[in-house]
């Protein structure tokens, strides 16, 4: 796994055995969609795992990235990967995502992008999306999920774009 583009391009990142990292192809698709909006943005990498998505955002011009990860093994890999990049505009919150979002809301008036890549057995998509929308109504919410994953969209959100990459979907939401 490597950083695809930007100031950290081609840096190799680590992944732990228990992590299902976002593939290069999915990250490339994601950042092709965001490329004109990323510069100077504040980005949240929820369920961060190895941190590859957040590190890619920093590499491509995000001003600050918040990583949310509660798994102890994943945190070690995440910290190691961030150290490889020698970047200072990041914060790791070792919290469950819903609680982490509340903490970030207290720190930031504006967050531009909320990216979530929960485990494939995650079942609380609707609750997560509703919470994210209520805390950050100005943010674009992006969810990586299996094409087979079905969830109910909260009334406050609209799906405005969806990209399919193999068996993976990137769904882009905004508050109505």
Confirm whether 6 is domain-assigned: no
User: Residue range 158-175: average pLDDT?
Assistant: 97
Confirm whether 45 is domain-assigned: yes
Buried b (16+ CB within 10 A) or exposed e, 53-68: bbbbbbbbbbebbbbb
CA 126, 176, 93, 75 dihedral sign is positive
Confirm whether 2 is domain-assigned: no
Predicted local confidence at residue 106, as pLDDT: 95
- Please return the burial class of 48, using the count of CB atoms within 10 Å of its CB with bins 0-12, 13-18 and 19+: buried
What is the span of the domain harbouring residue 49? 24-175
Is residue 147's pLDDT more than 80? yes
What is the domain-level CATH number for residue 136? 3.40.50.150
If one counts the domains in the chain, the total is: 1
Confirm whether 10 is domain-assigned: no
User: Does the predicted model carry a pTM greater than 0.85?
Assistant: yes
What pLDDT digit, counting tens, does each position of 124-143 carry?
A: 999 999 999 999 999 999 99
Q: Are 43 and 66 in contact (CB under 8 A)?
A: yes
User: Got the DSSP string for 83-100?
Assistant: HHHT--SEEEE-S-HHHH
């Amino acid at each position: 796994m490597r950083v695809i583009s930007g100031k950290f391009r081609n840096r190799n990142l680590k992944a732990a055995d228990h992590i299902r990292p976002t593939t290069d192809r999915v990250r490339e698709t994601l950042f092709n969609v965001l490329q004109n909006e990323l510069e100077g943005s504040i980005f949240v990498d929820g369920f961060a795992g190895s941190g590859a998505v957040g590190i890619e955002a920093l590499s491509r011009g995000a001003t600050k990235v918040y990583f949310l990860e509660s798994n102890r093994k994943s945190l070690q890999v995440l910290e190691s990967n961030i150290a490889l990049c020698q970047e200072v505009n990041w914060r790791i919150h070792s919290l469950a995502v819903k609680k982490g979002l509340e903490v970030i809301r207290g720190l930031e008036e504006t967050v531009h992008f909320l990216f979530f890549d929960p485990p494939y057995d995650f079942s609380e998509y609707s609750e997560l999306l509703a919470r994210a929308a209520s805390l950050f109504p100005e943010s674009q919410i992006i969810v990586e999920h299996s094409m087979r994953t079905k969830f109910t969209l909260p009334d406050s959100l609209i799906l405005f774009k969806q990209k399919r990459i193999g068996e993976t979907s990137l769904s882009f939401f905004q508050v109505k």
